[in-house]
Structure 1
Amino acid sequence: MSDPVPARAEIVVDLAAVRHNVRILKDLVSVDGPVALMAVVKADGYGHGMVEVAAAARDAGADWLGVATIDEALALRAAGDRGPLLCWLSAPGDDFAAAVAAGVEVTAYSVEELEEIAAVGPARVQLKVDTGLSRGGAPRAAWHDFFAVAGDLEREGRITVSGIWSHLAASDEPAHPANDAQEAAFRDALSLAASAGLDPDVAHLANSAAAILRPSAHFDLVRCGIATYGLDPAPGVSPRLGLRPAMTVRARLLMSKEVAAGEGVSYGHTWHAPEDTTVGVVPAGYGEGIPRAAGNTASVWVGDSRRPIRGRVCMDQLVVDLDGELPPPGTEVVLFGPGDLGEPTAQDWADAVGTISYEIVTRVGGRLSRRFVDADETAGGDR
């Protein structure tokens, strides 16, 4: 954190941390036999930079990449990625032809979607089944027809069914009964698909939490999203694996000033100084994706100490309590990072505002610049 800080604020992404995490996860899931790993890089790589993270994950051995939309998949192809790539979220009228032409595997949730994809085929299609999340995917009552139509289209040469998959609802809670129920339902789906003559290349169910906590759900492939970025998918439950958070958000202090006892701070005066103190102004707010709810709850790192946010987070700035100190303008402020020096982490911010680390790192951005560093280059190896 001693590197020069830009004039205002930035996101710093450590690509060596991404590679480090992918290697750890690949080793973990392959203990009992080969299991492929998909690095999920949707939503601009969970706020870390989709193209750059994807390249780092591939370098570290990620077998697949996963994205939500066709646009995301095409952006990866335009950036030069040529490996196995799956997208899974589409709406009627989306450009399946472009995805198929780019060698992207697409996902079907229904017979209607299968037929829309087949119309631009031949396409490689993965079938998503709903095993209990009650979100995307074919519901159980539709599986028989879904697989039958897929089998017919495959025999006609209009599609290749390359995968069957589903998504867990409660994998971060290992004892939750939904995990056993969904895994059993997924196995039933695979059996029914086989009866329809389908023999896909991959079956996959596990997300990051299940990749770490539920080996029985590994099947042929695991999809690692948040763990790729070094964040714990099941805080308080996951074992210590040595994953390293890849994102640091930092800024320069704009100014510091004295505040007298009783004075209110920021909009609405939701905080009053209980005694004479000093505060600092940080040039980042909800326009940069900083949660407004972080006011009076989250902390940042200034100098060598955590400093609490005081008053409401504004659109462009926030105020922190400096406890009597008056550091000069330009002093580095770390909103969150890996936690190596004691600075808050994305999980700390998530806990402070009642959300999950996924939301913290994915929403941050706005006017923040993004810079990539590589500890393999700057420190001679993975940290």
Structure 2
Amino acid sequence: MLSSEQRTGVVDNQDCDTYNWFSQRAWVEIDLGALYNNVKQLLKLLSPHTQLMAVVKADAYGHGSVTVAKTVLEAGAKWLGVATVPEGIQLREGGIKAPILILGATHAPEQIQAIAHWQLQPTLCSPKQALVFSNTLEAIKYRSSMPVHIKLDTGMSRLGTNWQEAGEFVQLVQRLPGLAIASIYSHLATADSPDPTVMEQQQQRFEQAIDQIKARDINPPCLHLANSAATLVNPSLHYDIVRVGLAMYGLYPAPHLQNKINLQPVLQLKARITQVKAIAAGTGVSYGHDFIAKKEMRIAVVGIGYADGVPRHLSNKIQVLIRGQRVPQIGTITMDQLMLDVTSLPNLQEGEIVTLLGEQAKESISADDWANQLNTISWEILCGFKHRLPRIAVI
């Protein structure tokens, strides 16, 4: 299923691949078996003609893009989605040969030349952008037609040409030299909402746009609309490709979708205890002394902080797992370290592992737990872990 080099070791972090990861003060652990399982579970939701695009932008949501890409492609994904040209180049340099769609907008001639050189596939959002692409490809004497994907705005109010102008836009792209339409797509704004009203409106607009295109005797070769939430919600949204991000990494886009499929979290965040000490009642802990010990207690210092992606606003709000038991974080989270109340754990030693996100015994803490504390979303939590934390692939 997975190669030996994928099963364990430091991945996607060149600064850390020369020494044993067991010496690390903190790291992100990536369960490739869970990732593989999630892709297989998602594929079961799809009809045979619908393909899965694995969204691996933002370093695969902090999981390590090249290693994730290799695993999801082995599991059955056919496409990869990234946000920027450099993200696509990184995958190509990592040996990835699958089709890669750049979901963001690109305009500069040097970007277009890089797209051509690395055989990436761009998103076209406007007639002006399409003209720039065609003119640039003609100027560099590009010898074949570049596959391009037409983005329509059906209600997200972000990238894309207005859906009402779809027929005219697609006809222009079809006539421009050097461009070959690979797909028509749009993006849903509220697919994770229990109320499907806006999502259904967007789908109706998408369908009307496709009718406009077909009325001009243009038959789109491929259609896609669904993100993770829409993939879980309604098969009518699947079309030819689904673009899956969060669900692939084992998290649900919304609580009401948790019964749709059995997903396994892929990422765990771990660190080591660097010191254990006793403090007296009345002792302040960390900057600002936001925590004052009410009694004599034992605290542990852990080698991870906000410079690694543990939000400072979680100070005095979260728990971590040690020896399968929950213990509270105390005091202000600092740049490189945080403190725990470990009074309840006797004989705790320096070097023991602390799980900040993940499972120990029967206890678990998820990115959703942190997101709820911060009034944000789990996507932001996952993308926040910095690159000085090595990504360790395990199975």
Q: Same fold (TM over 0.5)?
A: yes
> Aligned pair in 2 of structure 1 residues 269, 198: CA closer, same or farther (>3 Å)?
farther
Aligned mates of 2:156, 2:272 — CA distance in 1? 43
Quickly say closer, same or farther: Cα 1:147–1:116, change in 2 above 3 A: same
1:45 aligned onto 2:60? yes
Determine helix, strand or coil for the equivalent of 1:253: strand
Aligned partner (choices 346, 352, 357) of residue 373 of structure 2: 352
1:6 aligned to 2:53?
Answer: no
Residues 1:69 and 1:340: Cα distance change in structure 2 (over 3 Å): farther
1:83 aligns with 2:98: yes
Runs of 5+ in structure 1 lacking a partner?
376-383
Partner SS for 1:147: helix
Distance 1:192 1:274, change over 3 A: farther
Give the Cα–Cα distance (whole angstroms) in 2 for the partners of residues 214 and 270 of structure 1: 48
Structure 2 SS opposite 1:192: helix
Give runs of aligned pairs for residues 82-121 of structure 1, distance below 5 A: 82-93=97-108, 94-119=110-135, 120=137
**Alignment partner of 2:220: what SS?**
coil
| Partner Cα separation in structure 1 for residue 130 and residue 197 of structure 2 | 32
Amino acid at match of 1:184: Q
1:148 aligns with 2:143: no
- Decide whether aligned partners of structure 1 residues 340 and 358 sit closer, same or farther in structure 2, where only a CA change above 3 A counts: farther
d(CA) in 1 for partners of 2:284, 2:197: 49
- Which amino acid in 2 is paired with 1:334? T
Which whole-Å CA distance do the structure 2 matches of 1:286 and 1:242 have between them?
32
Q: 2-side partners of 1:37 and 1:50: how far apart?
A: 16
Q: Give the deviation of 1:134 after TM superposition.
A: 0.7
How well do the aligned residues superpose, as a CA RMSD in angstroms?
Answer: 1.9
Flag the 1:223–1:242 CA change in 2: closer, same or farther, 3 A: same
Q: Which has the higher strand share?
A: 2
Determine helix, strand or coil for the equivalent of 2:92.
helix
How many residues of Structure 1 are paired with residues of Structure 2 in the alignment?
A: 367
Pair 107,343 (structure 1): closer, same or farther in 2 beyond 3 Å: same
Displacement of 1:221 in angstroms is 0.8
Which SS does the other structure have where 2:105 is aligned?
coil
CA distance in structure 2 between the partners assigned to 1:193 and 1:270 by the alignment: 61
Deviations 1:4-36 (A, max 9, x none): 843411111111211111111011122xx5311
Is 1:370 matched with 2:387? no
**Partners of 1:48 and 1:338 in 2: how far apart?**
17
Stretches (4+) displaced over 4 A: none
1:1-383 maps to which residues of 2 (within 5 A)? 5-30=22-47, 33-93=48-108, 94-119=110-135, 120=137, 122-140=145-163, 142-153=165-176, 157-239=177-259, 241-326=261-346, 327-338=348-359, 341-373=362-394, 375=395
Write the distance in 2 (CA, Å) between the matches of 1:339 and 1:69.
37
Q: 1:360 to 1:139 in 2, by over 3 A?
A: same
